[in-house]
Amino acid sequence: MIEARRLHILRAVADHRTVTAAAAALYLTPSAVSQQLTALEQETGHRLVERGAKGVRLTPAGEILLNHTNAVLAQLERAEAELAAYDSGAAGTVTVASFATGIAQVVAPAVTRLAGTSPGIRIRVQDAEGDASLPMVLDRQVDIAVAVEYRGAPPADDPRLAHVPLYAEPFDAVVPVSHRLADTPEVPLAELAKDPWIGPYPGNPCHDVVVLACENAGFQPRLEHSSDDFRAVVALASADAGVALVPRSALRGMDLTGVVVRPVDGVAPTRRVFAAVRRGAEGHPLIRPVLAALGEVAGE
């Protein structure tokens, strides 16, 4: 195994042409430089330098090794620079867990923004629902969670987590085109009390939003079909399998053939989206710019 410090010495000798000058540049004694050169020749199995009256020069084998030395030392310089940047908070990796529409709504645009403002920060994204992403933050599996408020979630004043509000969006009613309320400008939720419902599984934060909205309208929804994929929810509604409440952003770009989307009459059910980090980490020089970017794109 070739030691990097001996490559430094080889290059210094090649640059300065004498052992004495190389030793002075490296703050070593000439005998120490000679010993390291001898050790490097033993490591490589080749004679690397020739000594003469006018100093030293590299042998052909020494020239070959010098070419590799320049590449190796340049890479080590880059490694040291990146480590120095990491220490200063200018470079490093931040892992973000978010539900799918949160990725599309704020995480992906924040990644684009950070590429221009903080190019040393690398973002790793994981798809995870809010009920999973918050424990992932607490367990140090990820750095930031983009989550939705739900019953049973850690509150904003939880001593373990710091919350950063991002955005709120309403749920719209999705009914089949043949539904009796398809032509109404707004759908009163109470009018859907006897309909079969399609919605997310219990544990999904959106499940809580739907159930709570129906409870506030005076009934418990009869959930006959369950899926955490809103494309599947809309497809089932288009097949006349039931009605649903779907976050507005999840409907963007979706095939809505066979369904009608209407706002909810009165106070619309809303999901509130926030970012969460372990408390105290919000000031970390890597995490702070990511939280700022998430907040900026959410406010646009």
Report domain 168-271's class.
alpha beta
Task: In whole angstroms, give the CA distance from residue 27 to residue 144.
Answer: 47
Instruction: Work out the angle at residue 146's Cα, subtended by the Cα atoms of residues 137 and 200, and round it to the nearest 5 degrees.
Output: 105
Q: What is the mean pLDDT of the chain?
A: 91
Token pair of 54 as six digits: 């006018």
Where do the structural domains in the chain lie, given as residue ranges?
4-84, 90-167+272-299, 168-271
pLDDT digits (tens, 9 = 90+) for 134-151: 889 988 889 999 999 877
Task: In whole angstroms, give the CA distance from residue 167 to residue 264.
Answer: 19
Q: Do domains 4-84 and 168-271 have the same CATH topology?
A: no
Helix 4-16 vs helix 30-44: angle between axes, to the nearest 10 degrees? Answer: 120
pLDDT band at 76 (very low <50, low <70, confident <90, very high): confident
What's residue 74's pLDDT? 84
In CATH, the architecture of 4-84 is Orthogonal Bundle (1.10)
Q: Are strands 196-199 and 222-226 parallel, antiparallel or unpaired?
A: parallel
Check the CA dihedral 230-232-238-240 and report its sign: negative
What's residue 246's pLDDT? 96
pLDDT digits (tens, 9 = 90+) for 174-192: 999 999 999 999 999 999 9
Is residue 47 over pLDDT 80? yes
What's residue 130's pLDDT? 72
24-45: average pLDDT: 92
What's residue 268's pLDDT? 87
pLDDT digits (tens, 9 = 90+) for 248-265: 989 988 999 999 999 999
Q: Which amino acid is at 167?
A: Y
Is CATH 3.40.190.10 the classification given to domain 90-167+272-299? yes
Number of H-type helices and E-type strands within the chain: 10, 11
